[in-house]
Amino acid sequence: MRRSSCHLRGLYQPARPPLREVLVRRRQHRISGREHAVQSPPSFLSSQSPIFRDMFSIPQPPAADDTMVEGCIVVHLQDTMKDIQNLLELLYDTWSVHKFHKPLHVSMLRTMLRMSRKYGFKHLRQEAINRLRMEFPSTLREFGESLGEYRFIDGEVDEIEFSVMLLAREQGIKSILPAIYVYVCVNRHSEDLEKYFVENRHILPVDLPISLLLGRDRITRAVATTTFRWLNKGTVPCKECTIPAVCAATARMISMQLLEMPTANLVQRAVFPWDRQRLEGAPLCAKCVATAKEVFENGRKVVWERIPDYFGLNDPALAGDWDEDEGEAEPEKL
């Protein structure tokens, strides 16, 4: 085997055009050359991957001419061309990974997780998991602080939550599942979910649609007994209320709003912080606000703790061998 450089050949999906090859060619540390090619000596891949190191350390018999490209051995990989191209881009342009102000596309995170698991690029896997954990935190406090635009990941607007949800399940990144399931429920109305389930039924885990819808239903039904339990008779107006008639009217108005609210908005009522509820109507007095807010925050904590149960995320079939602390979770069988 010639050690100065090698060519990696990847797989296309069956439905795609005929097999093509990736030529690995390095020119001044930049991706260049033909067909998204970069040049890479085996020593470079070996220095970052124990799998490639073992692969290149095995003595090879002289290669036949038809297995060589431009005098280099061809290495066949059972990965998609997209994953191979992304991997090479990540390895040669490491600055792009560490620029935290620049979000990484979900497809790049997918490559980092899949290829790092397969070939032992541990730093790429940890980096991908760190970004996902910052974007979809596991604690209620961090979740409340993370609301808003995505800061560390990027993707197609219509698909980003769905893509991350599937990726987290595939890679066994259990800690981000509650937050991403909630995001899907908040950002996608019923029509969006139906469309996604129908169009992607061939790739979705069998349990996912029903567990997602059941969880969404459980969260919305919990609103009345948790975060908005203070609307129940006797809580507001509170005993120290300064404007009982106004606070009672406000409570009735908010109750009516909840009854008419779309499901996605109801999920927000169960998990978003008090100051992001944006309920319309006459104000409550300061005493009633304090009473209501205390009940609300206690209810919100209860909902958050129950979310794994609501979505069936504690199912032993999903728990399996997950060991995310080491970033080495076993992938879920889809």
Measured from the CB atom, the residue of 81 and 288 that comes closer to Zn ion is 288
List the one residue from 106, 247, 254, 271 that touches Zn ion (CB under 5 A): 247
Would you count residue 237 as binding Zn ion (CB under 5 A)?
yes
Torsion from C-alpha of 152, 155, 157, 161, nearest 10 degrees = -70
Which of the 8 DSSP states describes residue 15?
T
Measured from the CB atom, the residue of 237 and 312 that comes closer to Zn ion is 237
Of residues 145 through 174, those in contact with Zn ion by CB under 5 A are none
- Beta-bridge partners for 80: 11
Measured from the CB atom, the residue of 37 and 241 that comes closer to Zn ion is 241
Choose among 78, 53, 68, 60: nearest CA to 23: 68
Least distance in Å: CB of 301 to Zn ion?
Answer: 24
Residue ranges of E strands in the chain: 7-11, 26-27, 30-31, 68-69, 72-80, 104-105, 153-154
Choose among 129, 126, 123, 124: nearest CA to 164: 129
Of residues 303 through 332, those in contact with Zn ion by CB under 5 A are none
Measured from the CB atom, the residue of 134 and 243 that comes closer to Zn ion is 243
- The span from the CA of 181 to the CA of 216, in Å, is 9
Measured from the CB atom, the residue of 128 and 241 that comes closer to Zn ion is 241
Residue 13, amino acid:
Q
Least distance in Å: CB of 256 to Zn ion?
Answer: 18
Instruction: Tell me the CB-side half-sphere exposure of residue 257, using CA atoms within 13 A.
Output: 17
Span near Zn ion by CB under 5 A; candidates 70-78, 92-100, 213-221, 280-288: 280-288
Of residues 27 through 86, those in contact with Zn ion by CB under 5 A are none
Is the separation of the CB atoms in 165 and 181 below 8 Å? yes
Instruction: Tell me the CB-side half-sphere exposure of residue 256, using CA atoms within 13 A.
Output: 8
Least distance in Å: CB of 172 to Zn ion?
Answer: 48
- Tell me, rounded to whole angstroms, the distance of Cα 328 from its chain centroid: 16
Would you count residue 224 as binding Zn ion (CB under 5 A)?
no
- The span from the CA of 77 to the CA of 288, in Å, is 64
Span near Zn ion by CB under 5 A; candidates 2-10, 34-42, 245-253, 323-331: 245-253
Least distance in Å: CB of 278 to Zn ion?
Answer: 19
What is the per-residue binding string for Zn ion in 286-305, x denoting contact by CB under 5 A? --x-----------------
Choose among 159, 167, 156, 101: nearest CA to 132: 167
Least distance in Å: CB of 288 to Zn ion?
Answer: 3
Span near Zn ion by CB under 5 A; candidates 71-79, 205-213, 239-247, 259-267: 239-247
Q: Residue 164 CB: number of other CB atoms within 10 A?
A: 26
Span near Zn ion by CB under 5 A; candidates 18-26, 43-51, 107-115, 277-285: 277-285
Measured from the CB atom, the residue of 233 and 333 that comes closer to Zn ion is 233
Would you count residue 254 as binding Zn ion (CB under 5 A)?
no
Least distance in Å: CB of 261 to Zn ion?
Answer: 23
- Residues in contact with Zn ion by the rule CB under 5 A: 237, 241, 247, 285, 288
